[in-house]
Each structure stands twice: as C-alpha cells, then as structure tokens.
C-alpha cells in the first residue's frame, strides 16, 4: 500500500507560465497516460512549468521528455531545468522555438523518476496549438443590454468562446469572475470594455474588447491570446 501511495503522489500538474493555467483533466482506465487536455499558445518560445508533488530527478527528465509536431510529423527531445523550487521543473522550447500554426503533443514519459528513483504511474500528455496572438480565428459571442433609464447601467453576457479551455470571464471594472453563459450587471460609462478570459483554474487565456455602447445580441469579437 505504501508503494502504491508513493506512486500516486508523483502524479503531476502542468501549468503555463504567465497564464496560471489549467483545466479539468480526464483519465481513461484503458489509457496508459494522463491527458492534460489542449491549450493554445502564442509564444513560440513558451517555457512549460511542471509542478511535481515530490522532488524530480532533472537528469531523468532530460531523457524522458519529447515533443511531437503533429503537423509535420517530426519528433525531438526537450531539455528540462530546475524551477523555482525542488518540486518545480521548467521544460525548455526546442531550438528555434515552436512553429506558428503547428499542433504539438508534449509527452513526459512514465519512465521519468523522482529523486527517490520512483517512476510516474502514467505518462503525461499535453496537446497544444501555436497561433498568432491576434487574428487567430478565436472569438467570443456576447450579448449587451443597456438600461433605457440609466444608460451606464449595463448587463453583459459572454455566451460562448471558441478558445479551448475558456470557462470563465471577467469584465473590466468588475472583480467578479463569472462562468461563460452567466450575466454580469455593472455601471459602465465608456463605450467599450475589456473582457478577460480564464480557464477553470483562473489562468488568463486571452482578452477581447467588447462594444457596450448600445443593446446588441450575438456580438462576435476577436480574442487576443495571453502570453
């Protein structure tokens, strides 16, 4: 039982630097890996941070991290370095960086060991796409209702976003983090507001600028990706 618990304790969580990412993850009993979902990045030199629940062996990781370019079929190894603490590891980008408009699969093999020489119970897989920061095809859909009595009183609803991982949002001028599909009521004097888009771990994924000058439904605006 102790050995099983030690292995379970090695399950790790991936987070994106500057995005405080992460999402909900599902594991199939038939799969020999933990699927960390899909992300979209704009930084071609993105450094991924891995948080282990116990100190990781950097040398072991350096031999067990690979990146698969699903667009051109190439596979290469990635290097790891120590993060801010002994449980944190940074995965460096490949030489020359990632390629714009390419799709990738990042794999941390279950052969990776902790400093106690314990293996991961499953390999860890993260899928991600590299897109332009702007003009990337990702949008939000929104509804705006302006009060006919007090025109600065506005109800804003972000009804949908096609950026993977987005589940919550916050409107400029409000501290309330709202689920996609829920409405926010606030007083807004300006004609436009900035919308901040988050995953369910409150990691910032992107922003959008929304016209709130008049009552409108099914407004579509572009998303600017976070770094």
Q: Which CATH number covers residue 187? A: 2.60.40
Instruction: Looking at the structure, tell me whether residues 100 and 148 fall in a common domain.
Output: no
Residue 197 forms beta bridges with which residues?
A: 169, 206
Query: Does position 142 have pLDDT exceeding 90, yes or no?
Result: yes
Number of domains in the chain: 2
Residues 147-174, mean pLDDT to the nearest whole number: 96
Confidence band for 87, pLDDT divided at 50, 70 and 90: confident
pTM: predicted TM-score of the whole model, two decimal places: 0.77
Final residue of a domain: which of 112, 130, 148?
A: 130
Contact yes or no for 224/134 (Cβ under 8 A)? yes
CA-to-CA distance for 37 and 47, rounded, in angstroms? 17
Q: Is 151 found in the same domain as 118?
A: no
Say whether both 126 and 213 belong to one domain: no
The last residue of one of the domains, among 101, 130, 159, is 130
Percent of the chain's residues with pLDDT above 90? 68
- Do 103 and 150 sit in the same domain of this protein? no
Q: Which of 130, 156, 172 is the endpoint of a domain?
A: 130
Q: In degrees rounded to 5, what are phi and psi of residue 58?
A: -60, -40
State yes or no: pLDDT of 130 exceeds 50: yes
* Residues 114 and 163 placed together within one structural domain of the fold: no
- Domain ranges, residue 147: 139-225
CA distance 79 to 149: 60
């Amino acid at each position: 039982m102790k050995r099983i618990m030690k292995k379970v304790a090695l399950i790790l969580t991936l987070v994106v630097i500057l995005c405080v990412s992460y999402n909900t993850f599902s594991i199939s009993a038939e799969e020999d890996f933990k699927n960390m979902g899909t992300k979209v990045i704009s930084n071609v030199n993105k450094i991924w941070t891995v948080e282990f629940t116990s100190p990781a062996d950097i040398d072991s990781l350096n031999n067990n991290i690979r990146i698969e370019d699903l667009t051109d079929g190439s596979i290469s190894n990635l290097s790891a370095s120590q993060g801010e603490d002994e449980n944190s590891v940074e995965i460096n980008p490949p030489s020359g960086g990632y390629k714009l408009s390419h799709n990738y699969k990042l794999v941390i093999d279950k052969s990776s060991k902790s400093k106690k020489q314990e293996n991961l119970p499953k390999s860890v897989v993260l899928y991600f796409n590299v897109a332009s920061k702007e003009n990337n095809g990702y949008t939000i859909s929104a509804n705006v209702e302006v009060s006919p009595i007090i025109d600065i009183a506005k109800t804003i609803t972000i009804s949908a976003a096609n950026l993977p991982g987005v589940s919550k949002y916050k409107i400029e001028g409000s501290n309330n983090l709202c689920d996609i599909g829920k409405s926010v009521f606030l007083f807004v004097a300006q004609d436009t507001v900035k919308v901040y888009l988050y995953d369910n771990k409150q990691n910032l994924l992107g922003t959008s600028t929304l016209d709130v000058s008049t009552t409108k439904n099914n407004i579509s605006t572009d998303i600017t990706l976070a770094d």
